[in-house]
Amino acid sequence: MAHRRFLLGAWPWRSLGHLLGTALILLAMVPPVSLLCLPWAAEVSRLLSPFPLTFGTAVVWTAVGGVSLALGLPLLAVPLARLERRRLRLVDRRPVEDGRQRLSTSDLRTRFRVRYTESATWREVGYLLLLVVLGPLLCLVAGLVVLTPTMLLSSPFLVRAGEPPIAAVFTTVTTRGQALGCATLGLLLVPVSAYLLALLAGAHAAVARVLLHGGQEPLRAELVEVTRSRARLVDAFEAERRRIERDLHDGAQERLVSLTLRLGMARLDLPRDTPAYQNVSAAHDQAKQLMAELRELVRGIHPRVLTDRGLPAALGELADRCPVPVSVRADLPERMPAPVEATAYFVVSEALANVAKHSGADSVSITARREGGLLTVEVHDDGTGGADPDRGTGLTGLADRVAVIDGRMFLSSPAGGPTLLRVELPCDQNVRSA
């Protein structure tokens, strides 16, 4: 409508054709919808009669009317919606999808159950009811928009000297001069009518698109599936981490401890001034260093203390290992789902690693508390601040990990400090696995 050549194009005629089609469809839909409403109409007429219905009979008629509408309206709305999606091309060239499930079964009960439980079906029913209720008003306004300039333009051809005056919309015309004035006004109203018709058709098309376009349903289903698949992948990854941690802790670490003990015992049996003693001592020291590194690796994969004693004890262990003094306040009276505890632990672990490497802080405080169904964990340090997710993938990875279980992460780190990292994790028992 904003295009300069709108009046010279086909859009006004397309809008008029769309509105004419709406009038014809309305004439076809009103009788069957009225037929479905007959039980309620009969009830209303009996209520107004001198012999009103009893309460039980009124309830029966109301139920019959409701059942007839619930069963009959979808049968009318589905073909109407299919026709309306095609008619939308007159005024809207964007594709319109029905969003229905593709059924390969021929079982009538299954098809009936699926179709009557789809949200698309009941949106189409809503469109049908809206068309029956507001369609007459739309057609009336469109008819006035078309007839007003038409009657004004035709008045010079209808006026005859000595004959009765004719009605031209809002006035009566008796002379040819008056008729020419009305025709001039009608000519000026033609472009206005074209824009009004396009506006009416566009409004109708917009409502139809909102109710009949199901393109968002497949996208919503795909988004849900992507979210679930991401959660399953993370869950599988966490299970694999725990398996690796158990294998290293119960297998490789125990064998390394045994090797370290054997080397220590072998060193005791060798004279101190021999090359063999020097070699065994070096091997013993390397074994002890390797055992410490393996212990740190196992703890980084999945800490055993988190599984055995819960989040407060695991946070305390993180604080003890951090080179910066850390105070922990964890008011958590009960255990929470494993995905929530693991996410909170690794968020705090990454935050403390960043503090030790980049912040130059003198102290850190960790607060963990549960309020209703929400676990809130805060890591506050008095360092130089300036943490920016765009300068590295660590904070972005934390945000992604928190998002997997529908949590949120907030960061406040102005230049000069302090820095506050806050995560909010839903910790209901039905929380999605991560």
Residue 285: CA atoms inside 13 Å, Cβ hemisphere, count? 5
Question: Can you say how many angstroms the Cα of residue 429 is from the centroid of all Cα atoms in its chain?
Answer: 23
**Phi–psi pair at 104, nearest 5 degrees:** -100, -10
How far apart are alpha carbons 268 and 266 in whole angstroms?
5
pLDDT of residue 433: 41
Structure tokens at 83: 């026709």
Residue 373: CA atoms inside 13 Å, Cβ hemisphere, count? 7
Q: Are strands 166-168 and 171-173 parallel, antiparallel or unpaired?
A: antiparallel
pLDDT of residue 308: 78
Span 74-114, pLDDT tens digits: 888 888 888 988 888 888 887 777 766 666 666 667 777 77
The CATH fold of domain 309-426: Heat Shock Protein 90 (3.30.565)
In 299-427, the DSSP E strands lie at 326-331, 364-371, 374-381, 408-412, 419-426
Residue 54: CA atoms inside 13 Å, Cβ hemisphere, count? 2
How far apart are alpha carbons 181 and 183 in whole angstroms?
5
Question: Can you say how many angstroms the Cα of residue 291 is from the centroid of all Cα atoms in its chain?
Answer: 49
pLDDT of residue 434: 39
Whether omega for the bond prior to residue 136 falls within 30 degrees of 0, making it cis, is no
**Around Cβ 193, how many Cβ atoms within 10 Å?**
20
Please state the length of the chain. Answer: 434
Structure tokens at 98: 């029905």
Q: Which residues of the chain have pLDDT under 50?
A: 430-434
How far apart are alpha carbons 381 and 359 in whole angstroms?
8
**Around Cβ 17, how many Cβ atoms within 10 Å?**
16
Q: Taking Cα atoms as reference points, which of 99, 100, 76, 80 lies closest to residue 88?
A: 80
Q: Taking Cα atoms as reference points, which of 150, 124, 130, 98 lies closest to residue 203?
A: 130
pLDDT of residue 186: 85
How far apart are alpha carbons 265 and 256 in whole angstroms?
14
How far apart are alpha carbons 149 and 196 in whole angstroms?
12
